[in-house]
Structures are given as C-alpha cells and as structure tokens.
C-alpha cells in the first residue's frame, strides 16, 4: 500500500464514528489547558485520561494527542497577553510577545504565533509520515537485547537532558523502575512487593500515580503563592501580520520547524530546549539582534514554530518504537497499554487504524487549532479571568473522580493522595517528577526484554556485547555516564584556575 492509500485510509478512520468530535474536543481542551497558567499538559492529560477508557484505542489517542498539541498552541496566548507561559514550552514567547502586546501589536503577535505553529505542525506531520515507516522497518529487526540497550539509552538521556541535576533525575527514574516491579511477575506470574495489600496485586495504578504527581502537586505548589495576572486591557485588532512581518518571519519559521522536529525526536529533549535554541539562533542571525527582547516578531515566530514541530517529532519514537521521549508520550503509551494495545514496531502492522488515524488527525487538528486560537481570542481572555480559588478545587475534584472511576476502588484515592504528597515534596526539593513516570512505564518493558535476553543467552551477559546494535546503545550510555561528570569537573577546575591566572 503506497503513501496515498495510507492517507486515504487514515482519513477514513478519522471520519468514522465520533473521531472528528473527539479531535475537536481534544483541541478545545488542549487550547484551554494552554491558556490557563498553572495547569499544564501533563496534569490535564492525567485528569482526562479516565475519560478515554470507554473509547476505541484510535479515538482515545486522537483526543489525547489533540490535547497535547492543542496546549502547545494555546500556551502562546497567555504568554503574549499576560506574560505568563500557559505551559513550560511557551516561556520564550514571553520575551518578545508581551513586549509586542504592550506596543499595541498583540494582534500580529498572536497571528504570527498561530501561523508559525500551523506551518511547523504541518511540516512535522509530513515528516512523521515519511520517517515513521522507515524507522519501523529498522525496528522490526530488533531483538530483546536491542530493546534493552535502547530503553537504557532512553532513560539515561532523559536523566542527562533533564532541567535538574542528572543525579536527581537518575534517582527519580530508578524510583519509577522500582514502582514498576510491584504486582505480578511478567515471567513467573507470581505476586511480588504487594505486602498483602489487594490494591497492589495488579501493580500501582497509572492513573492515581500520574494524577497525584502532576494534578494534586500542581495545585499544592500554586496555592503557596498567588499568580499575578495583568491581562492586557487594550482591544486586540489586526490579527493578520502585514507583508513585512510575513517576509521577516519566513526564515525563522522554516528553521524553527526543522530544528524543533529533529530535536523533538531525541529522548528527554521535549519542546522546551528547542525553543531556546531556536530563539538564540535567530538572534545571532538577525541584522538587528538588539531588538530581541524588545518586541521582535521573529522572537515570537521562531520559538513557536520550534515548539510545535518538537511536539510532532515526539510522536516518531512513540509510534515506531514504543519509546516515550517525554512524560506526555509516556502517558499516551499508558493509555494504549490500558486499552490492551502493545506499543512498538508492530503497531503499524497490527493497528494501522491507530497509526494513520492519529497522523491524519494531526493534519486536521492544525486547521482546527488556527480556528480556535484566532477568532476565539476574546473568549480565551475572559477565561483567563477565572479566579484560582474556583479553578483549583475543581481540579482536585476531577482528580478524585478520575482515580476512583477507573476501577471503582476507594483505595485508589489513597494512592492518589500519597503520590500527590510525594509529587509536592519532590518539586519542593527540586526533584523532577517526569523521569519517575518514564521509569514507571518503561520499567515493565525493560524487565521483560532483559529477562528474555538472558533466557535466550542462558544467563550470559555477553549477548549485549555480541549484538552490534545493542553494543552501540550501551556504548553511548557509557560515554554519557563518563563524559558528563568529566565535563563538569573540568569546568570547576577551569573556574578555580582562571582567576588565579
């Protein structure tokens, strides 16, 4: 079946049943999440994940994906109008977007943000269609040992690309791996680490865990200090940028799209780092670098393009290898696993409806998000005025209902509370919660592949070195573990010697 027939097949899946409605709802909720500062996509997906259990796997992934890239779009609205990023990847947009708004150019800033996001999202979706089948053909040659190497490399890169200390990220990732072993042994089928607690017989629940770590902890952190919001009072007009704006931004949007997509494929990279890199590159290439930070429209276009292209790039390892590059992709994998779908290279052949349905939904979703983000600006501004003392109790209520509704087990509310407290403590002590979730979801995959490898090799670890692909992955892990501490050591030595010389 050629690419054209795949596209037609994906479009057929998209218009089947209620998938178009789910796409629209996902984009709408995602935009709302992006607009409301202090919530964020991980918390929103955690809260809304139980809603997808009655849907088909394709429908659930279409809606959850819409929430994710919808939040990437919506975050720019808050950054430009309020100078508060709706989600972390929109931080860079604040630098110039809010300054443009203060100068009476909020309309063009919002317009170029939507255009850059649309172009980048479309480019990213096209690249997924081209690269994903190639990566699947390579991944089908992987055995258990290759997957062990790939999973170890993914977790290591997540730790060393984390915004916090790599050591702290490794600690939280290992906590996640340990939590993933609770429940039933995948090889022998016996219970372990349950301590006579019936709730743990099937393992720690994914929904209570992520809702606690992201939803409850987010509310607790935000309750400590009120977020000051100074919403732009002037009327927003002229949403479409002029010819000069479009000409100036064409290059930054193109470069941001390419850079963001390929950086988004890397495990642990996410969408935050590409936005900073893209902004820095455009500032260096600009003929007027002094205008950056003072209202340069390129400073809005480039990071927004990189942001949305990176969010598309994250789907490549998810759909081809079953490897999450960030916590959002880990939640999407969790949604598939709960639905009984095994993520990985066989997803394309066993569940083509999910693969091509999601890709085509991303095409249409880009159009839907432009419609939601520009004509409905007035509505988003009103939503920004919702008091937090009304919003936060609702979030806690949704978390409790969501945790209980999955299995009707009251003990899941206790699990939710425990991980809510753990997430709060981790964030107060500057431990990132994302590696924990990634370790929790990747842990069972890693254990199964690792034990299968040892069974095939009669317990000999040499198999990891005899297989070239596995050896290359583990060699990269070794280089990361050695190179990063050495680099930090040389920096400290240079800093001490420098003043003396």
pLDDT at 475 over 70: yes
State the pLDDT at residue 232: 55
What pLDDT score does 49 carry?
80
| pLDDT value at 226 more than 70 | no
Residue 258 clears pLDDT 90, i.e. is over it? yes
Give the range of the structural domain holding residue 195, as residue numbers without chain letter.
Answer: 3-500
> Within 13 Å of residue 54, how many CA atoms lie on the same side as its CB?
7
Query: Mind listing the pLDDT tens digit for each residue in 81-105?
Result: 777 666 667 778 888 888 888 888 8
Q: Average the pLDDT over 250-268 and give the result.
A: 87
- From 210-214, 335-339, 389-393, the region with the lowest mean pLDDT: 389-393
**Percent of the chain surpassing pLDDT 70:** 89
Q: What average pLDDT does the segment 336-355 reach?
A: 84
Across 197-207, average pLDDT: 84
State the average pLDDT over residues 418-435: 88
Residue 65, pLDDT > 60, answer: yes
Nearest residue to 19 via CA among 51, 60, 54: 60
Q: What would the mean pLDDT of 105-119 be, rounded to a whole number?
A: 86
Q: Tokens in use for 455? A: 């069974």
Higher model confidence: residue 243 or residue 1? Answer: 243
**Cα–Cα dist 175/171, whole Å:** 6
**What is d(CA 217, CA 417) in angstroms, rounded to the nearest whole number?**
10
Question: Which range among 36-45, 307-316, 423-432, 442-451 shows the weakest confidence by mean pLDDT?
Answer: 36-45
Average pLDDT over residues 14-22: 86
d(CA 54, CA 58): 12
Rounded average pLDDT over 57-68: 89
Residue of 288, 287, 256, 289 whose CA lies nearest to 273: 256
Residue 17 has pLDDT above 70, yes or no: yes
| Banded model confidence at residue 4, pLDDT cuts 50, 70, 90 | confident
Predicted structure pTM score:
0.78
Token pair of 82, please?
């309020």
- Cβ atoms of 205 and 406 closer than 8 Å: yes
Question: What's the DSSP call for residue 191?
Answer: E
pLDDT at 421: 92
> Which structure tokens are listed for 273?
């780092």
pLDDT bracket for residue 153 (50, 70, 90): confident
Alpha-carbon span 138 to 121, nearest angstrom: 25
Q: How far apart are CA 80 and CA 100, in angstroms?
A: 8
Lowest mean pLDDT among 39-43, 44-48, 67-71, 254-258: 39-43
pLDDT of residue 410: 87
**What average pLDDT does the chain have?**
82
What is the model's pLDDT at position 252?
92
- Specify the 3-state DSSP secondary structure of 84: coil
Q: How many domains does the chain have?
A: 1
CA-to-CA separations, 478 to 146, 153, 228, 483, 484, in angstroms, rounded: 16, 9, 45, 8, 10
């Amino acid at each position: 079946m050629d690419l054209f027939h795949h596209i037609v097949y994906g479009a057929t899946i998209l218009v089947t049943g209620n998938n178009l409605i789910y796409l629209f709802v996902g984009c709408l909720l995602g935009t709302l999440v992006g607009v409301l500062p202090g919530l964020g996509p991980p918390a929103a997906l955690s809260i809304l994940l139980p809603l997808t259990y009655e849907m088909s796997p394709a429908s659930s992934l279409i809606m959850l994906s819409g929430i994710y890239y919808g939040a990437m779009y919506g975050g720019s609205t808050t950054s430009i109008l309020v100078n508060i990023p709706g989600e972390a990847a929109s931080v860079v947009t604040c630098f110039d977007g809010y300054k443009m708004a203060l100068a009476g150019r909020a309309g063009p800033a919002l317009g170029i943000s939507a255009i850059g996001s649309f172009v980048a999202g479309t480019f990213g979706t096209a690249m997924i269609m081209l690269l994903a089948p190639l990566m699947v053909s390579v991944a089908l040659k992987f055995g258990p040992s290759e997957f062990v190497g790939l999973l170890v490399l993914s977790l290591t890169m997540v730790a060393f690309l984390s915004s916090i200390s790599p050591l702290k990220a490794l600690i939280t990732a290992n906590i996640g791996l340990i939590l993933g072993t609770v429940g039933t042994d995948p090889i022998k089928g016996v219970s372990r680490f349950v301590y006579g607690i019936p709730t743990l017989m099937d393992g720690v629940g994914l929904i209570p865990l992520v809702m606690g770590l992201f939803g409850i902890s987010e509310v607790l952190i935000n309750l400590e200090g009120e977020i000051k919001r100074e919403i732009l009072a002037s009327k927003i007009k002229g949403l479409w940028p002029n010819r000069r704006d479009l000409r100036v931004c064409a290059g930054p949007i193109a470069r941001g799209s390419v850079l963001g997509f390929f950086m988004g494929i890397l495990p642990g990279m996410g969408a935050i780092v590409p936005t900073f890199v893209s902004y820095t590159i455009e500032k260096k290439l600009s003929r007027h670098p002094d205008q950056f930070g003072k209202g340069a429209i390129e400073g809005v276009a480039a990071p927004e393009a990189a942001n949305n292209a990176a969010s598309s790039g994250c789907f490549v390892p998810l759909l081809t290898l079953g490897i999450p590059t960030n916590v959002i992709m880990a939640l999407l994998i969790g949604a598939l696993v709960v639905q009984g779908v095994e993520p990985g290279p066989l997803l394309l052949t066993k569940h083509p409806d999910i693969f091509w349905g999601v890709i085509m939904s991303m095409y249409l979703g880009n159009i839907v998000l432009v419609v939601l983000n520009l004509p409905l600006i007035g509505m988003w501004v009103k939503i920004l005025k919702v008091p937090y003392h009304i919003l936060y109790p609702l979030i806690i209520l949704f978390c409790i209902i969501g945790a209980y509704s999955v299995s009707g087990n009251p003990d899941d509310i206790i699990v939710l509370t425990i991980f809510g407290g753990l997430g709060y403590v981790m964030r107060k002590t500057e431990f990132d919660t994302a590696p924990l979730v990634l370790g929790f979801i990747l842990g069972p995959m890693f254990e199964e592949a690792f034990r299968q490898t040892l069974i095939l090799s009669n317990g000999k670890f040499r198999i990891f070195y005899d297989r070239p692909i596995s050896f290359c992955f583990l060699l990269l892990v070794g280089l990361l573990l050695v190179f990063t501490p050495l680099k930090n050591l040389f920096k400290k030595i240079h800093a001490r010697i420098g003043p003396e010389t």
